[in-house]
Structure 1
Amino acid sequence: MAQRYSSFSSGSTAWLLQRITAAFLVVVLAFHFFNLHFVTHAYEIEFAGSQARMQNVGYFVTMILFLLTATFHGVNGVYNALVNQGIDGVQKRIAQVVLGAAALLLVVQGIRVANTLAGF
């Protein structure tokens, strides 16, 4: 049988955070799909409705947490997939910087959009 290799050390903080964010994302995605695909149908979604939802503090906080969690989970997953493929040294550092910058830009822009929708 082939040797299993993972850049995640079982029981490490990165390993634990990847699993916690996955569980959170499953719950929030279920909420999102239920709310925006069954309660409110896609053809009924309008900008004013998005603004109204984002003005609810609970919804706003949930969406910010969704943004942060999804960004961490995705970037951490891509980074570890690259490490599992064997990058190291300069390539690994470049991946860290590029993914870190992309994550930062995504979070900043996402928060700007959320604040605008919420009327801040």
Structure 2
Amino acid sequence: MAEHYSSFERGGRRWLWQRLTAVFLIGVLAFHFLLLHFANHAANITFAGTQARMSQISYFATMWLFLVTATFHGVNGVYNALVNQGIDGTQKNAVKWVLIAAGLLLIAQGTRVALAMNGFL
């Protein structure tokens, strides 16, 4: 019988957070598709409409949480896929810090755009 293998540490929090973020992302993606693809068709989406939606604190917070959650989920997933492929030592440490930096830059830029859409910038 094959041995169970996972890059997640047993009892670790990264495994739990990967699953929790997946559940959150499924819910927010459903909301996104219903609102922006079924209730409003792509041809009806305008810059002014986006600004109006982003000016609502609940929508803004949901979209910002979506950004942070998706970034964590993606970065954590890529990191663990690479660990599963066998990187270790210096490579593993370098990849970890490059992915953390890329994730933080993505969140910073996404936050800038969200704040601009909200009218704060």
Shorter-chain TM-score range: over 0.9
Name the residue aligned to 2:102: 102
**Is 1:15 paired with 2:15?**
yes
Q: 5 Å matches for 1:1-120? A: 1-120=1-120
Q: How many Å separate the matches in 2 of 1:41 and 1:100?
A: 35
Aligned to 2:2, the other structure's residue is in SS state coil
Q: Shift of residue 97 of structure 1?
A: 1.2
Aligned length: 120
Distance 1:64 1:48 in 2: 19
Tell me how far apart the structure 2 counterparts of residues 97 and 12 of structure 1 sit (CA, whole Å): 19
Q: Distance in 1 between matches of 2:12 and 2:92?
A: 19
Residue segments in structure 1 that go unaligned for 5+ positions in a row: none
Identical pairs, percent? 65
- Structure 2 residue matching 1:11: 3-state secondary structure: coil
- Runs of 4+ in structure 1 off by over 6 angstroms are none
RMSD of aligned C-alpha atoms? Answer: 0.9
Moved more, 41-50 or 106-115: 41-50
CA distance in 2, matches of 1:20, 1:8: 15
How far apart in 2 are the matches of 1:22 and 1:13? 14
Q: CA deviation at 1:8?
A: 1.1
What is the SS of the residue equivalent to 1:99? helix
TM-score by length of 1: 0.96
Aligned counterparts of 1:10 and 1:46: Cα–Cα separation in 2: 47
**Cα distance in 2 for residues equivalent to 1:25 and 1:9:** 23
What is the TM-score of this pair, normalised by structure 2? Answer: 0.95
Shift of 1:10: 4.0
